[in-house]
Structure 1
Amino acid sequence: MMPPVVRHEGESAEIICSYDSIYKSKPKSLCKGTCSTRDRSPLSETVREENETKTGRLTLNDDITAGVFTGTITGLTAEDAGKYWCAVTLETELNYLYTHLIVIMNEELNLTKYEGDDVSIQCKHHDEDQKIFCKAHETSMCVKDGVSLETIRDDRFSFSDEASTGVFTVKITDLREEDSGIYWCGAHVTTKVHLNISKDFSVIIIISVCVILLLIAGFTLTVCKLRHKRQGETHTQLPTIPSDELLYAAVSFQKHEESLSEATVRFSEEEVYTTVIYHTGLN
């Protein structure tokens, strides 16, 4: 098996096949899916005395000096993804190697969820080959490490495969902040998934409002208690006379009962007693 070839949709892919020098004069072919002497439908096959053969978007070039023939596919689509065979035709059999062409779709999936939520991710596949669901910066890391559905061991992950629709679904429950990142899912056709896990701000807002209300209630209760205490102290105090205040009292004695007018005129002739009391404080 040769290393996988990973390319994006619309790009070109080169499938490089090496062979021994003893096969330099033998016909070479590039097959997709299956490649055998009985069941073989090569995408392209080299023609003797010609170094290059072109069939549609596929060009096959044979460099006999380097002992390498290369299949180049332009304008990659999802249908181009799959398993490819590099075959050398012998008298009665084929000598071949195989590789995987993985096409990354340009349309990416962006998902934003909150901590504690669940998420279902749908991944496309067109064959029965190993399905991939991997968290990594590059899809080649997933293929290289052989990370697949079967290798994930986490109770929060579950998988369901609907072969008839060409879709398998990955469900993650009880999402956590560390689940954020880039995921790759599919098979030979791979989709890039951006999963962003955020904190639930609605819960934070509710908690903050409750705390503020509690603080306001506590402050109001404290103020009311202080006012009630001050009013109680005021009622228990007796009236007091300010210190250093002068009190005056005047007493007039009249010897004769006369009219008011006469008494008024002769007021100065009567005896008048005045008392002045000076208070320095209340005992």
Structure 2
Amino acid sequence: MFIKTVFYIFFFTLLSVLLYVQVVHISHSLVLLITTVSKVSVKAGKSISIPCLYESQYKNHVKYLCEGYDWTFCRYAVKTNEADPSGKYSISDDKKQNIFTVTINQLAHKNTDYWCALDITNGQDYGQYFQLSVTRGTPSLYVDHQRMKGYIGESITIRCHHSNSGEMKWCRIGRSCVTGSSGSIDGTTVTAHMRDPNVFTVTMSGLRSKDSGWYWCAKGDIQIPVYLTVTQKLITTSFDPRILIILLSVLIWIVIVVLFIWFILRHSKYY
């Protein structure tokens, strides 16, 4: 009887712990203090940067990356106030756009669970879950370059390569998405097409400096973040060396003529 009682106590205690973990996991998904990707496919050995958008009232709070499926038991990977000595993780905080970015290097061939997290002073920390699906082969969704540069007034094209099924979207983090062949994000025209097999091409036209920021391609339940920098294009003028030769030739002829006239005038005084 005693053993049976102990068994029931142990069973219900374990059940309660598991239920608590699941409730915490679900509750953190319902309250969105942070917006980020949900699942990213990436090749083993490569690096990936993940943007985490937070509410403006947490601008001066410490942000961190936590590793592990369960929020209750995840471990610190890197913090904004403490560098990772191993070099595997790095983190930066853009307080103007309210986005902190975590970069994970040398990914091992295994699926890894992470949380973008906020250190809440005098309260419970908050985290938003995302998963990295790491493969030795070609990722199911990837871009040619995760960081791209465009120029004010011009256009930029992003090629999203995919092998999975589902709806294609081009989104700006914390803003709207374009799901069809055309649309706009914050007033910037976006066109999209799939002329090439397994390639979703996005073009943003009439770029402005405020278009700088994090976006992502999405295909089904997988996303790939892309950071776009928009700057003023420097106007450079190329100098033709033939012009220099002509200028030097004219200068030499002028010097010769002046010397010739000086020579004539000098000798005319003696006659």
* TM, length-normalised to structure 1: 0.34
* TM, length-normalised to structure 2: 0.36
